[in-house]
Structures are given as C-alpha cells and as structure tokens.
Structure 1
C-alpha cells in the first residue's frame, strides 16, 4: 500500500520547524496536531490529547527520573570525584593522561544524567578548563569531551537503553547487560586515538610512572562504592532483588547513603534543591521527548508508515547484513539532526519490525542503533553534542572539526565491528540470563 504525498507533510514539517529553531518536542507535537486538524479530520483531537496522557502512564518509565536523580546525587555527593580519582590512577601515567581520564570517566559515569548532551556539558565545565591549564589545546579538549560523551548512554544505566527497552518491550536487565562490551570498546578505541595524538604532540602525563599495585588497590577501595554502582544495579535485577523501576529508586538511595555517610560530601540541606532541580530538568526533557515521539508515532501508525517502510526495505533486500548497513546510514544521519532519545523514539518503531522479520536479535539491533545515533551526535554539520561542547567551551566549530575526525573514525570502526559481530553484544546477556 502506497502513501499520498499529503500524508507525509508532518514528517517534512518536523524537520522544517526544527531547523527554524523550534525545540524538537514542539515540532513533533505541532506536526501531529496539524495533520489531524487540517489533513485527516476523521480522528478527534481529544483522542490525540488522550494519547499524550497515556504515554506517560507507564510504570517502567519511573526508572528514568530515578536514574537521572542518581546521577545528580553522584555529582553532589562526591561519587563522581572518586570515580575520576580512580580513572586518574589508572591512566595518569599515559601520555595525554588527563584526556585518558576524560574517556574513562565517561565510561564509569554510565549516562546517568539522562542525556549525552548533559554528560557532555558536565565534562565540558569540569575537565576542559583543567586540560587547557595543563597544555592541551582547547579544540582537542573539546573534541575528546564530546567524543567520550558518546559512550556514556551506551553503558548501563544509560537512559537511552531504558528508552529502547520501553519501545521494544524487552528485558531491561538484558539491555543493560548488552551495553557493557560496546561501551568498553568505544572507550578503548578513543583511548588508542588519544595515545597516538598525545605522543605526536607530547601532551603531558599527570603521574610520573605507572602506579604500584598498592596504589591501585588503595584507590580502588576508596572509589569502590562508586565503581560498584552500575554492576550492583545489574546484579540486583539479575537475582530478582528489584525490578528496573525499583532499581532506579535503589540507585538513588544507594547514592544518598554513600555520598552522605561514606564520602561525607552530600549535605541534604545544601544540595537537596539543586538535586531536585537537576532531576526535574533532566527528566522533563527526556520524558517530554518520549511523549512527543509517542504521539508522532501514533500519526505514523495511523497512515500505516511502519508497514510501508517494512515492505519497502524487504523489497530492497532480505539480507540482514545489508539491512543493518542501510540502518547504519539512516541512523547516523538521524543522529546528526536529532537528540538521541528523540531519534531513537522515531526510528525504532519503523525499523525494529523489519529487523525482527530478518531474524536480527533485538538487543543487537538496539545497541547498534544507539551507538549509531551517538556517533551522529558528534558528527558535522549538525551534531548536537558538537554544538553543546563548542558553546560551553567557546571553541570555534572549525577548530573542533579538525580535532574530532580521528575519534569519529575510531567509533565507526567499533560500529562496524558491532554490526557484523552480534556476539559482542549478546554474550554478556546470555551469560547472565541464559540464551534468549
């Protein structure tokens, strides 16, 4: 079944409104209401408003505000600092030690802020000024900060993993477990690039020599409670101690206890209001995008777009590897234009049914999609994390582009590896939960 051009007007409207500077949430809402008000009036507008309300009524969605709040508590409670100290002990002896710390810290943080852009903003404020003081160029500091933030939503408990789970209706525990190896591979690839560049430019180390085992163990014990956080969440869900949504609440409680009584940096009197404000800001942006994308998804389902796309894709190829390569191109482009959560919400309902028909594992498809979109976020000309980093650091985009391309190449190599080696994504979930 084909589609008339007028039925596709809302899709064009979304991009036009977005490029005119309208936030993606309002672009999605406005385009959907335009369609049902002026093009197809057979569905009442109050039904669309009802869809807005029902989109928020998901118990699983409670995981998002809890994990976002946990990330904020980690920052104010000193847990993030302890993680950075541990990263510095492990990588400080390397050339470009502070740049290596930047990558490792992104990996350890696990995207708790709810957005790669938020992670990017945090590290731009925290690490870029310090890197400049120690002799790194502003452009290189901004490039590694943006590139490393692409890994945070891939590692548990990244909110994009939760978003994909809600769309695909699959196990959150398995999705979290599937993110470990892709996230670690992304970090390793960037650390290799940093090492090569640092040796060429003779960037400084932060430590004179490789730490002794005693130093590593000592710092590991000091930072243990922060390092245990992501693994503890996975293990708790695996052994049935709590559901994913309850796991978010447990994460908040855990971070409060550690920040208040172990590291003794969290003051509820001083930090409660900033934590709540951070949590509200982070949660509202993610949930609003999810609701808007759900409403836009209602429009796509109404015009039968998912079935048309599935039929079109399957008529082009029934080879799952060619399909995945086509998805890589589509998702990379989507990631350049839209924030990660919005791109994932729009594109997954269209492509996931085709992937399932071709026998592609849900977790394989999901992680490839998330990695794609994150790489798109640092890719010119419209990568959102690129603009976030350059805006905060004051780095000219032209200089940023000269420094970021080696990191984009390294991440694309990892993407191809994940695309053609699904075992790298499915082995940890299968090990923890048994074969799917």
Structure 2
C-alpha cells in the first residue's frame, strides 16, 4: 500500500472519529488520494461516485424505504404491536418481549434498523419505563432488537450486499428469515431470563385462547402477508427483488385504503421521509464506491487475496479472522460504507476457500449489525439513547449480556452452515 493511500485512510478514520457525516469522511479520504496523484484523471472521481449508485438492484432501496414509511402512516405498526402483545403477554418481561417480536415483524415491512430503533424508542420505551423496567434495560432491548431488522427481508443490507457481490438477493432474503428468527428467539430467551430475575412483570396472566389469538391476528393478517408476497414472488419469478420494492409500495397504499388511515396530506410526508432516508444511504454508497476504486487502483484486493490464500489455508481460521476484523471495523465505520469497501476484497477470498456465498454474506451482514450496536460509534446505540435520554455509559453496561449473546449467535452462523443455508436449500 502506498503512503498516499495510507494517509487517505487515516484522514478518513480521523474524520469519522470527529463525527463528520460518513459520506463526507469517506469522500475526504478519497479526495486526498486524488489530490496527491495528479497523474490520475480527476474525472474518475465523479465517474466512480455516479457508477456506484447506478446498479439496478439498488433501486429496491427507495422502494422498500417508501413502503415502510407508508405503513407507519397507515396504522400497520399499531396493529402489529397489538398482535405481538397478545402473543407474548404471558412471557416474563411482557413489554420487552413485545419490543423484540415487533422488531422482527417490522423488519419484514421497513428494512431499516435505524428507522425501527427510532420508532420503537418513541412508542415502546415510555410504556416500558412506566411498567417498572429500567430506562437502561428498555433502551438496550430496543436497540438490540432493531438489529434483527436488517436480517429479515427486505433488509437493505442484503440488497446492498447482493448488488456488490453479485449474489442472489432472493436467496439472501430467504436466508435472512432463518438468521433473523434465530436472533429473535435467543434474544427473547435472554430477555425472559433477565426479566424473571429482576421481577419485571408479564402483561397478562390469562391463557391464550383460539378466539383471542384470532381477534389479534385478524387486523395484522394483511400486513403480515407482505414478506410472504415478496419471497414468493421472487422465488416463483413473478418479479425481481427490485420490482418487489415497487410491489410493496402498492401493497402499502392498498393497506392504507383498506384501513382508511392514510390521508392525502400524509403522502407528502411519506415522500419527504423516503427521499431523506434514501439520499443518506446513496451518498454513502457513492462515496464508498470512490474509495473502493482507490483500493483497487493500488491493487489492495489482489495483494490481500494472495496473502490470505497463502497464509490462511483453513476456511474456519479465515472466518475467525474475518469476524475479528469486521467486529473491530464495525466499531468505527458505518456498515454500508464498510460493506462497499470490504466485500469486493473478502468475498472472492471466501469463494476461493470454498465457503458458501450465502453463509459468508449473512456472516458479514451479522457482523455489521453488531457494529451498529457497538461503541464508540454504534448508530443504533446513539439513535436510541438520543431519543430515550439514556446515558451511553449506562447503556453499554446494561448491554453486556446482549453483546455476549450476539457473539454466540455469530459463532453459530460461522461454524454451523445450515443456520444460513437450510431454508435456501429447502426453497431453491
């Protein structure tokens, strides 16, 4: 690696530490590289930024973001939450369990962990505190459960990974169901244990009857069909993953008409929220594409591939090294940015070592999800704490059991391939 690229990387990391917006920090590092290499045509800078956002697969991002926003305005969230309350009402830590299950189901509707964390920080944490849960525990459960969102289709992280690594987004969606459910179930078990130990109350002591279940399920039935429509449509070949995003918008609007809760004036707000969220994601994609080109120009992918193949002959050792590396990177760099820079480096090596492409994709996405919760720059941690007014130090201390749980889940995905591939093999 040249000294110039090293300086560019240091400047990028320094800007990230100073909490400069991610896309500006990444572009800043790339600009230093281009400025110090006058022999490189400056037009490449703009070309790469534009090219990075031109993938057809990335069009799915604004579609799914829009459908998630529309559903928040159509009363879908309220119906899903009522359903979750009925399902988890008798479990220890009732509202905390509702929080986790709500994130899992909403992951199939919004695809954005930040949006999920912000929403649940507003609607779930206040009633949890009123019920006797500590502010720190309520905040941690909210942030940790939001990690499930990018793992459940149509997670934006899976769309990005698939477009970068040329992996079937449909297969990633199917794999995400299994991985998301694994995290949901293990997180509910841990939350139940902690809640029982601390005496956090259940929502109800009444037994669930078929009648009560149907009363809760009936209003949530149509929203719950969306993930099935997306996966089924892609698998059967009715539409692509990108077209599925457009279908989800139409479906969300139909729900608004059926439920009679979507007002015309809300459409402007929906579009505004969609544009803001999509612009933030695509700016990071464009910036990271430029920086990724600088790495390629310095032959970093080729050299790294040669070194790893020559040094790490065992696939499991490679995965262990990658996990440690990504966990450290995730503490400092936003997940989407690191994905665009690192996936082109690591995915070919994984393929060369015979690692299943779906398994490696889900391991990478899971690492990114952990990074979003990890200090010092975890976005989920900061978004949740900023809304709930929980102190960061108290949040980190309370989150220790959940960090351990996440590492255990990561090892399961790493060492036991069927956790990521069983459903894919079953359906495809």
By how many angstroms is 1:319 displaced? 0.5
Query: Which of 324, 333, 339 lines up with 2:328 in the alignment?
Result: 333
User: What is the deviation of 1:420?
Assistant: 0.7
Query: How far apart are 1:112 and its partner, in Å?
Result: 5.0
Cα distance, 1:286–1:114 mapped onto 2, change above 3 Å: farther
Out of 262, 269, 273, the residue aligned to residue 266 of structure 1 is 262
What is the rounded CA distance, in whole Å, between the counterparts of 1:422 and 1:317 in structure 2? 19
Secondary structure of the residue that 1:318 maps to in structure 2? coil
Q: Is the 8 A contact 1:33 1:45 kept in 2?
A: no
Q: After the TM superposition, which residues 62-141 of structure 1 pair with which residues of structure 2 at under 5 Å, given as runs?
A: 62-110=59-107, 113=110, 115-141=112-138
Q: In structure 2, the residue corresponding to 1:359 is in which secondary structure?
A: coil
Pick the aligned partner of 2:341 from 346, 355, 360: 346
The one-character-per-residue Cα deviations of 1:146-201 (angstroms, maximum 9, x if unpaired) are 11011110110010010000111121111100101111111111101110111111
Residue 402 of structure 1 deviates from its aligned partner by: 2.1
SS in 2 for 1:179: helix
**In the superposition, relative to structure 1, how do residues 203 and 85 fare at CA in structure 2: closer, same or farther (>3 Å)?**
same
Structure-to-structure mapping, 1:29-428, within 5 angstroms: 29-38=27-36, 40-110=37-107, 113=110, 115-261=112-258, 263-267=259-263, 269-428=264-423
Bigger mean CA offset, 22-31 vs 97-106:
22-31
User: 1:114, CA displacement in angstroms?
Assistant: 5.2
Q: Which residue of 1 aligns with 2:10?
A: 12
Q: Size of the alignment, in residue pairs?
A: 428
In the alignment, the residues of structure 2 paired with residue 335 and residue 368 of structure 1 have an alpha-carbon distance, to the nearest angstrom, of 13
Query: What's the offset of the Cα at 1:381?
Result: 3.2
Decide whether aligned partners of structure 1 residues 112 and 31 sit closer, same or farther in structure 2, where only a CA change above 3 A counts.
farther
Q: Does the aligned pair in 2 maintain the 1:116–1:340 contact within 8 Å?
A: no
In structure 2, distance between residues paired with 1:51 and 1:378: 30
CA contact under 8 A between 1:336 and 1:383: conserved in structure 2? yes
Q: Deviations over 1:93-138 (max 9, x none)?
A: 1121100010001111116545422221121111111111111110
Residue 241 of structure 1, CA deviation: 1.1
Conserved 8 A contact 2:363-2:414: yes
* Length-normalised TM-score, structure 1: 0.95
CA contact (8 A) 1:189 1:411 kept: no
Aligned partners of 2:94 and 2:265: how far apart in 1?
33
CA deviation map 1:276-315 (0-9, x unaligned): 1110111111111111111111111111111121122223
Contact in 2 for aligned 1:114/1:282 (Cα 8 Å): no
Partner deviation per Cα, 1:15-49 (whole Å, 9 max, x = no partner): 011112211101111211221122x2222111211
Q: Is 1:120–1:149's contact at 8 Å kept on the other side of the alignment?
A: yes
- Structure 1 unmatched ranges of 5 or more: none
Structure 1 residue 232: Cα displacement: 1.1
Q: 1:143 & 1:279 partners in 2: Cα distance? A: 27
Give the superposition deviation at 1:257. 0.2
User: TM-score, length-normalised on structure 2?
Assistant: 0.97
- Aligned partners of 1:420 and 1:277: how far apart in 2? 43
Structure 2 unaligned segments of length 5 or more: list them: none
Per-residue CA deviations over 1:395-424 (Å, capped at 9, x if unaligned) read 111211221111111121111111111111
Tell me how large the CA RMSD over aligned residues is.
1.4
Q: 1: CA distance between counterparts of 2:378 and 2:291?
A: 22
Q: Distance in 1 between matches of 2:111 and 2:101?
A: 18
Q: Distance in 2 between matches of 1:214 and 1:328?
A: 46
